[in-house]
Structure 1
Amino acid sequence: MAVVVVLGGLLFAYYANYALDRTTAADRARTERKAGSAADREQPAFVATRTARDIEQDPPENFVVLLDRKLTEREQADLTAASARGGGLDVWRFLKPLGGRLVECASPSIFPNEGLEGGNGPTGAWSQSFSLNLNSDRSAGLTVNSMKAVKDSCRPSKAVAVVDLPPAGSEGRQGLIWDLSGDTDIRPKGPYVLDDGEDQGKPFFRRNVIELGNGQSNMAMLIQPRVSDLTCTWHIDASCTDTSGTHTQRIPSKGAFTTEAVPARPLQYFGNVIGLGWECLGEVVRENCPAAEDLERLPPGWLVEQART
């Protein structure tokens, strides 16, 4: 009899717990979903990673190299020797360990009718492009529907030496362009479409959005910020929408991007012109630059303009 009573009690407890589990399962599932959604929203909407352009594998068509100090007599001789060996990339390999920084010459042909400032030479448009990768681990999807560039500060270029290389071939690239020309109080324009095709030069977010999260692939973009006569530090304010509303996230989350301009009248200017060799201005060794005296009688920027026409 006692055994029967014990078994009956166990069966009763089992079925009671089973019934309780059935009646509370829906509530528990809702609670777990809410907790998961809350944890999902606690992490950043996305992570932005900046990658420098691989100059060796993907050199820009036109570029100059800036240095914050003058080249010595020996370095000037080594510079011309490096160019004679292998052209632009050899010059870059020589100047990089000396503190050289590469700046691209932004092509004016990319910017039709959108108010972007084009032009060549020291008073033209300059860029330092990079790759920007956006990735989200959120289980729920989100949409980036606006990205605005914000200039934090702008100042004259501090470079004292400029080494200008002749144009080389370069393939078209997919990406975004911002025009950061002018001082800090001038609002940046863009982003515009960099890709070849019908939408080139048109506002990117007029027809496009960026979908992230929910298993979406990473979004990788080439970013080409343009400046003219001033070096600017800047960041991006990205507006994104998810199930809880619209939010703004800063890119980069800490610090800022920097895009350098080229000084119009550096202390040293070295221009490698196709068919002419090295033509130099400023505090340079004349033996390495036989046409320096002729160039000093020309208008500022003439050499660079002629080299790229």
Structure 2
Amino acid sequence: MTSIFDDIRSAFSKGNNALHQLIFINVVVFAVLIILRTVMTLSGSGGMFAYLMTFLSMPSNLQLFAFRFWTIITYFFTHLEFFHILFNMLNLYWFGMLIREYLGDKRLVNLYVLGGLAGGLIYLVSYNTIPYLQLRAEGSFMMGASGSVIAIMVAAATLLPNYTFNLILIGPIRIKYIALVMVLLSISGATGGNAGGNIAHLGGAILGFLYVRQLQRGSDWGRPLQAVLGFFRGIFQRRSPLKVAYKNPNRPYTSSASSSMTGTSNIPGNPSQLEIDQILDKISVSGYESLTKEEKQKLFKASQK
């Protein structure tokens, strides 16, 4: 048991570990709910467990949502079915690795949270405005990270459309086609038994596409979210007064090199390999967030070559 708590502490104490933290939170919540459901059902309190879930899953009823507004966040960390969480976490890991590598941990968190919020909002609006769904809205609740995950999938496909995954029994396939299939399946399922979940997928997909497009134009929609998260991190974490200096003797990064790159940012064309190497060195020393707007744009151009 001590080892488990040590693993938990280690997962949340490390920097640049957002992907594993998101997966870890989902898995822990799933495990707790499954144990709780089993215990309560065996003790004859299954109805109480179902009532408890209404405080975590998102209702389609506007009046109920007004009293449980927090569910627009808790729903995308909540799963009760094994295959539901399995496929969500696998897709989160595969596509989240790409987002983490090219955009950094903070933007991965932005996409996960904003995708979930977008999915929840379109779910709520759809079930209260579309006649077909209004007839099925009574007692309808939504849970699961699918909206957040498809936001990350579409974002990765927008950023790196020709990146290839090797799928079992299929072979190599570009991720833009994987994302397209997921969107089409969500559209086709919008009138089925899981209409709410599929509508949330579409909200997440739209958010993922627009987020990357705006990021490529120099606008990060996740800045308000990071400001809120930074506020809470500042409350619960102490900042170390020590500063660590790093120097790579083979290809050192210096502030002058960064300045020279910034000074030539308006020159058209793709960046040189030397510039990309210097940017990557800077990321390894100071993290993605230390890059200037021009350096990020150069990294975008290089990733699309």
Q: TM-score, normalised by structure 2?
A: 0.25
Larger radius of gyration: 1
Q: TM-score, normalised by structure 1?
A: 0.24
Higher relative contact order (CA 8 A, sep 6+): 1
More strand by share: 1
